[in-house]
Amino acid sequence: MYNHVRDQWKKPDTSYKSPQQQRLIQWRKDENFLRVEKPLRIDRARSLGYKAKQGYIVARARIRRGSLRKPTIKGGRKPSAKGITKITAAKSTQRIAEERTAKCFPNMEVLNSYWVGEDGKHHYYEVILVDPVHPSIMRDPKIKWITDVSNKRRVLRGKTSAGQKGRGLRHKGKGAEKIRPSIRANKSRGK
C-alpha cells in the first residue's frame, strides 16, 4: 500500500479539479502553522519516524517561495551592483519551516519534515514533532534518545535531515574537508 501512495506523490495531479489543487486553495486560507489530525503522506511520515501514538503530532507549515526580497536603494549605483534580485538565503525553505514550527510548539522537538505542496506564492511542509517528556516517548527505546538534554532545540542547530543537508553533511571524503564538524568551527581551527 505504501508503495502505491509513494508513486502517487511522485507526480501529483495538479489540474484545477484535482483534490491536491482544492487542498491548496483551502491551505491558503488556513493559518501559517496548523496542527493536523494525521499526516497527508503516511508513507513519507512513517519513513521519517512518525508513529500514530501519543507524544507525536504533525503540523502543516506555510512558507514563502522564492529568493529574499530587499528594498530598492536610493543612492546611485550601477544597476548590476544594486544587490536587490538573485539574493538567495543560506537556509532552505524547509529548514525555515521547521524552525518556525518549533517556535509555535515550544514544548515539542522537531523530528523531521517533508514536502506536501506548493502554489505560486508558498511552499507547504508537514513537520513531525515529538513531546520529549511524554511517558510513552520516554518508555519507547526507539525514540527515547530525543529525551536527552543534548537534543534540546535540535532543529535550531541543524540536526534534522533538512538541516544536515543544508550544512553539507551529506558529502563525505574528498572535497568535504572544510565542512566538519561545521563550517564555522573549521574556519576558526585554521587560524
65 vs 16, which has greater pLDDT? Answer: 65
pLDDT, position 92: 93
Contacts for 90 with CB less than 8 Å, ≥ 6 apart: 166
Residue 175 lies in a domain: no
Count of domains forming the chain: 1
Residue 178 lies in a domain: no
Residue 154 lies in a domain: no
Query: Are the C-beta atoms of residues 70 and 87 closer than 8 Å to each other?
Result: yes
Rounded to the nearest 10°, the torsion over CA 87, 88, 91, 93 is 120
- Please indicate, yes or no, whether the overall pTM of this predicted structure exceeds 0.85: yes
pLDDT, position 156: 95
Residue 6 lies in a domain: yes
156 vs 182, which has greater pLDDT? Answer: 156
Q: pLDDT-based confidence at 6, cuts 50/70/90?
A: confident
pLDDT, position 150: 94
Distance (Å) of CA 188 to CA 27, 172, 179, 181, 184: 44, 21, 12, 11, 7
Residue 18 lies in a domain: yes
pLDDT, position 74: 86
- Indicate if the pLDDT at residue 190 is higher than 70: no
* Chain center to CA of 45: 13
DSSP H helices in the chain: 2-10, 19-29, 42-47, 93-104, 135-139, 161-166, 183-189
Q: Which CATH number goes with the domain that contains 113?
A: 3.40.1120.10
pLDDT tens digit string along 31-71? 999 999 999 999 999 999 999 999 999 999 999 998 887 88
19 vs 86, which has greater pLDDT? Answer: 19
Which residues constitute the domain of residue 27? 2-147
Sign of CA dihedral 53, 19, 96, 34: negative
Q: Any idea what DSSP says for residue 71?
A: P
Residue 65 lies in a domain: yes
Residue 162 lies in a domain: no
pLDDT tens digit string along 124-179? 999 999 999 999 999 999 999 999 999 999 999 999 999 999 999 998 889 888 88
pLDDT, position 78: 87
- Indicate if the pLDDT at residue 191 is higher than 70: no
pLDDT, position 184: 83
Residue 167 lies in a domain: no
pLDDT tens digit string along 67-122? 887 888 888 888 888 888 788 888 999 999 999 999 999 999 999 999 999 999 99
pLDDT, position 68: 81
